Amino acid sequence: MVALTPISRTAPSFYVPVVAAFGAFFGVFIGTGQGSTIGGVLGGAILMGVIAFVLTKVAKNERVSRWGLTLLLAIGGFALAGLPGLFVGAFFGWFFGFLIFWLYEGRYRAKVAPYLTPGQVLWHFSFRTLCGMIFFFLIAPIIIVMPLSFNAENFFTFTPEMLRFDPAGYSLKHYRDFFTNDAWQDAVKNSLYIAPVATLLSVSFGTLAAIGLSQPHVPFRRAIMAILISPMIVPLIISAAGMYFFYSRVGLQGTYIGVVLAHAALGIPFVIITVTATLVGFDNSLTRAAANMGANPVTTFFRVQMPLILPGVISGGLFAFITSFDEVVVVLFVGSAGQKTLPWQMFTGLREQISPTILAVATILVFISICLLTVVELLRRRSERMRGMSPS
Amino acid sequence: MSDAPTAQTASSSAAEARIADAAYTGPMLAADGTPLKKSLNRALRLQKMRALALIAPLLIFVLVTFIAPIADMLFRSVENEIVSETLPRTTTLLANWDAKGTEIPDEAVFEALYDDMFYAIEAKEHTKLGGRLNYELTGMASLFRKSGRKVEDMGEVYQDQFEGLDAFWKTGENWNSFMGSDEWLASMAGWTKADGRQPKFKLREGMADVLPATTATYLKYAAFTQNEDQKNLYTTDPWAIVYSSLHKDLTGENALADYAGPAAEQLKAGAAAATSFETVNFSEAFLDIDKKWHDLDVWTTIKAYSPKLTSGYFLNAIDMQKSVDGAEMRPENQQIYGILFYRTMKMSVIITLSCIMLGYPVAWILANLPARQANLLLILVLLPFWTSLLVRTSAWKVLLQDQGVINDTLVWLGIVATDDRLALINNQTGTIIAMTHILLPFMILPLYSVMQTIQPTYLRAAKSLGATNWTAFWRVYFPQSVPGIGAGSILVFILAIGYYITPAIVGGTEGTFISNRIAYHISSSLNWGLGAALGAILLAAVMLLYYAYDKIVGIDNVKLG
């Protein structure tokens, strides 16, 4: 929806008050930080209003004005609050420079439909700002643990040294702890022993069953599907309780095999869902053609069907892997100290008061999930391309 | 290939076949001559079998590793065999006792209790039973533990008297000489520990008629000594309870008059003396151990929990209790599960609503942006979805703490005072914020996939027909997005009411869910039955929602990523 609305410069009576309002809004924070809210509001409004007018009517050159403003506010910020203030000031300078010329040149209208009323344009941008804030809410907690994990102190917040960007405030000691501490290393090892085996089990059983389920005539399809999906729906605490009771009856509680079986059961729904979704686009005449040319069912499966549904199988496998690798409730109950996995170790770390090594682990895990996400996304696109369902 | 005669032959044979077809009036036949209908049915059946054969391994796997445990848990929520298994005779006799009256049970019940307790103590089952009954009536655990030490001494009154009468009764060898069969005695004589398994005890023929009660007790004692204790039965001295049984036989019905086997002399002497033995009043003896044994509550509780299946755990789980008049509400100050269920529901609803409020605008903007930008922004939704739950929970723990990033920022900005920091963690606020963040992707993804299918032209058409922005959205767009809201809400709600990890870490005591209570009963208080009953109620709620989800969305349409 790229509407090319002709744009024209706006009058100072429009953009000066708007910029002043923004100035007043940010002035609240600086004002309260310095001790006077009212002073902040008035100062911000007047300062920004004047700057807006001067830059557009006196300086006129956009590049020079924006760089100048950024530099000016950066110096102002540094004077007020030191190094962190410098960055905050520079950001404000960049933002107001952008805002002033965006409004002044009328660029804000360029990409919205020409027939919108000013109120609708305002709503359009407020809505985007709101969405931006929600995206910020989604992503900020994950981002914020990363710098904190380089904390030189055993604190869970930014120390003054960190805010001053003092190299002494940062260290790799939590990472060092993670890589040398036996408890963490055993936990990693256990996770890596359990997750791949559980994944293998759920992928091999799950793929076969998904192929069976996508045949045209399956008796009790709905009921079977409901049973196979149920590990995903039943609350984990109930699965964990049931498995704890049942596995201790049959002697699997506290054993490696018990944990692997439990995790495999939990991973199965993900494999079923992704593989059946891939099989929806599978052309069954291909297997018939293969059979026609003399291939037996096993050859047909491995040479024709498998390569085509492989992306779905792999992403199902990744889901199953991450389910097992992330799982903590069931392993808490079904496992014993010998099966202490990484999430378990994190959970105990979080409950008993706690070392920032957890943040280092969290950062590493975020990078692992970024990798997994990339792989799954690429596979999904590939599989859609192969089925001619490519997104634009 | 244009061979005219061949073509002609072919066409003429085809014509013949047509004529033959017309002449044939029976059912249509397949190539091999079977009726086509039958042949097609067989093919269909074969296809079904093949599909089932592919599914079967997984189905069996899930049934064994997942469904069976759930069934086991449901069974445990009503199972109550421990009372009737540990106190078989007592519970049988109690069936005739009037629990609504004011009389405690009579001497016969106490005698049965002595019997049952004695075996339970030998097998160390009495503390387990005490623990079980303690869930229903506080003080039962200590009562059973305390009784354990003293019940063993109760029968010694008879033992001492028999042993005082004749030293013959002191040793196990003498007892075995007339209780055991000759054959067993012979094999026992040459047996040492090095020979492996002890020869199984065999009763002397006719003994069951001569001394019925003693025989029954002695068989139990023999089996226990040989199997559980792994002691040499031949040289072990019998339990005190054997003497009380012997006393019962000698003073009551027996066939001693015709008995002429080993130890007949001692038995007859015993029978003569037994009538003048000092007897034990078991009711008084139990009262001596603890006054509670004459407490009506103790007996009504034992009677109420005698059946093999009980609704007691479920009643507990909904703040009720068993009493002589049937089920009744617990006193106000003991009602905790109702509050907990209500809180779980309330907070799940709040979390679902905040997910709708935050998820709807995001899904809208994802669905209405050009694909390239939408895909980029989608990564911001998928990254939290793929990030470990514990990473996100620990991030929130770090952010929400008193000395955490949010409070520090607010203090730095001067919005809150240093000594007046916001309490964001270890309460309901913390749980709601963290869980909304964690479950938000589960709301956005279904909403997005529904909104993608809504044509933007409808909205433009509505506007060109004169609708205001709000009307166009509310009357045209919103109704079409309701299936997405439904799917997302049910998914988020199902996940929310069963959540355990996040409330446990950021919820404190105020912000915990029913799951945390279940976990507490399973790993700390060890009241498994109650934990299972709470779990069963939660499971029922989830299953109901799952059914609704299946009806609205269909399980097949669940999409991941």
CATH number, domain of A279, equals 1.10.3720.10
Buried b (16+ CB within 10 A) or exposed e, B393-417: bbbbbbbbbeebbbbbeebbebeee
Determine, yes or no, domain membership for A133: no
Cβ contact, residue pair B361, A391, below 8 Å = no
Query: Can you tell me the distance from the alpha carbon of B100 to that of B87, in angstroms, rounded to the nearest whole number?
Result: 21
Categorize the per-residue pLDDT at B209 as very low, low, confident or very high, splitting at 50, 70 and 90: confident
- Taking CA–CA distances from B515, the nearest residue in chain A reads A237
Domain's final residue, options A83, A98, A115? A115
Identify whether residues B439 and B496 lie together within a single domain. yes
Identify whether residues B439 and B393 lie together within a single domain. yes
Q: Considering its fold, how many domains does chain B have in total?
A: 4
Identify whether residues B176 and B245 lie together within a single domain. yes
Query: Can you tell me the distance from the alpha carbon of A210 to that of B291, in angstroms, rounded to the nearest whole number?
Result: 65
B-chain residues within 8 Å CB-CB of A213?
51, 55
Locus of tokens 């981002």: A143
Q: Considering its fold, how many domains does chain A have in total?
A: 2
A-chain residues within 8 Å CB-CB of B413?
29, 32-33
Nearest to B370 by CA among A392, A147, A172: A392
Query: Can you tell me the distance from the alpha carbon of B367 to that of A100, in angstroms, rounded to the nearest whole number?
Result: 30
Determine, yes or no, domain membership for A277: yes
Identify whether residues B355 and B289 lie together within a single domain. no
Mean pLDDT of chain B: 83
At how many degrees (to 10) do helices B371-386 and A118-148 cross?
40
A-chain residues within 8 Å CB-CB of B68?
246
Determine, yes or no, domain membership for A148: no
Identify whether residues B179 and B143 lie together within a single domain. no
B424-445 mean pLDDT: 92
Determine, yes or no, domain membership for A197: yes
Residue B132 distance to chain A (closest CA, Å): 16
φ/ψ of A75, rounded to 5, equals -65, -40
pLDDT at B23: 61
B369-398 mean pLDDT: 89
B295-321 mean pLDDT: 84
Identify whether residues B382 and B299 lie together within a single domain. no
B8-24 mean pLDDT: 56
Identify whether residues B270 and B293 lie together within a single domain. no
Identify whether residues A300 and A200 lie together within a single domain. yes
Residue B427 distance to chain A (closest CA, Å): 15
Domain's final residue, options B76, B96, B123? B76
At how many degrees (to 10) do helices A173-180 and A357-386 cross?
80
Determine, yes or no, domain membership for A283: yes
Is the CB of residue B70 less than 8 Å away from at least one CB of chain A?
yes
- Domain CATH code at residue B534: 1.10.3720.10
Residue B493 distance to chain A (closest CA, Å): 11
Residue of B397, B436, B448, B560 for testing the chain A interface, max A β-carbons within 10 Å? B560
Identify whether residues B175 and B255 lie together within a single domain. yes
Identify whether residues B427 and B518 lie together within a single domain. yes
- Taking CA–CA distances from A370, the nearest residue in chain B reads B383
Identify whether residues B234 and B133 lie together within a single domain. no
In angstroms, how far is CA B205 from the centroid of its own chain?
46
- Taking CA–CA distances from B386, the nearest residue in chain A reads A369
* The two three-digit tokens of residue B79, written as one number: 């199972």
Cβ contact, residue pair A238, B539, below 8 Å = yes
Query: Can you tell me the distance from the alpha carbon of A94 to that of A96, in angstroms, rounded to the nearest whole number?
Result: 6
Identify whether residues A195 and A312 lie together within a single domain. yes
In contact, B185 and B176? CB cutoff 8 Å: yes
Residue B12 has pLDDT above 60, yes or no: no
Number of H helices, E strands in chain B: 29, 2
List the single residue in B67, B395, B532 with the smallest CB-CB distance to A144. B395
Cβ contact, residue pair B70, A242, below 8 Å = yes
B335-352 mean pLDDT: 92
Determine, yes or no, domain membership for B545: yes
Specify which of A131-140, B74-83, B303-312, B542-551 reaches the highest per-range mean pLDDT. A131-140
Identify whether residues A288 and A211 lie together within a single domain. yes
Q: Chain B, 197-256: which have a CB under 8 Å from a chain A CB?
A: none
Q: Which domain holds residue A22?
A: 12-115
Residue B561 distance to chain A (closest CA, Å): 8
Determine, yes or no, domain membership for B439: yes
At how many degrees (to 10) do helices A221-233 and A256-280 cross?
130
Identify whether residues B117 and B25 lie together within a single domain. no
Nearest to B352 by CA among B487, B513, B451, B496: B496
Determine, yes or no, domain membership for A2: no
Q: What percent of chain B has pLDDT over 90?
A: 20
| Three-class DSSP category at B13 | helix
pLDDT at A102: 87
Specify which of A256-265, B98-107, B300-309, B522-531 reaches the highest per-range mean pLDDT. A256-265
Query: Can you tell me the distance from the alpha carbon of B277 to that of B257, in angstroms, rounded to the nearest whole number?
Result: 20
Residue B11 has pLDDT above 70, yes or no: no
- Taking CA–CA distances from A116, the nearest residue in chain B reads B469
Identify whether residues A188 and A87 lie together within a single domain. no
Is the CB of residue B44 less than 8 Å away from at least one CB of chain A?
yes
Q: Which amino acid is at A178?
A: F
Identify whether residues A244 and A102 lie together within a single domain. no
For the stretch B450-459, pLDDT in tens is: 898 888 899 8
pLDDT at A292: 92
* The two three-digit tokens of residue A361, written as one number: 């682990």
Identify whether residues A199 and A105 lie together within a single domain. no
Identify whether residues B517 and B394 lie together within a single domain. yes
Identify whether residues A106 and A200 lie together within a single domain. no
Cβ contact, residue pair B387, A226, below 8 Å = no
Query: Can you tell me the distance from the alpha carbon of B98 to that of A97, in angstroms, rounded to the nearest whole number?
Result: 90
Residue A277 distance to chain B (closest CA, Å): 8
Buried b (16+ CB within 10 A) or exposed e, A165-199: eeeebbeebbbeebeeeeebebbbebbeebbbbbb
A-chain residues within 8 Å CB-CB of B537?
none
- Taking CA–CA distances from B433, the nearest residue in chain A reads A137
Q: Which domain holds residue B499?
A: 337-557
B127-142 mean pLDDT: 84
Query: Can you tell me the distance from the alpha carbon of B443 to that of B437, in angstroms, rounded to the nearest whole number?
Result: 10
Determine, yes or no, domain membership for A362: no
Residues in chain A predicted with pLDDT less than 50, given as ranges, are: 1-3, 389-392
- Taking CA–CA distances from B530, the nearest residue in chain A reads A241
Determine, yes or no, domain membership for B315: no
pLDDT at B152: 76
Identify whether residues A191 and A334 lie together within a single domain. yes
Determine, yes or no, domain membership for A31: yes
ipTM computed for the complex: 0.86
Domain's final residue, options B55, B76, B97? B76
DSSP state, B26? Answer: S
Residue of B47, B48, B58, B460 for testing the chain A interface, max A β-carbons within 10 Å? B58
Cβ contact, residue pair B505, A347, below 8 Å = yes
| Strand B320-323 relative to strand B326-329, pairing | antiparallel
Residue B87 CB contacts under 8 Å (≥ 6 apart), including other chains:
B112, B113, B116, B117, B120, B129, B302
Ranking A255-264, B264-273, B369-378, B464-473 by mean pLDDT, the lowest is B264-273
Categorize the per-residue pLDDT at B2 as very low, low, confident or very high, splitting at 50, 70 and 90: very low
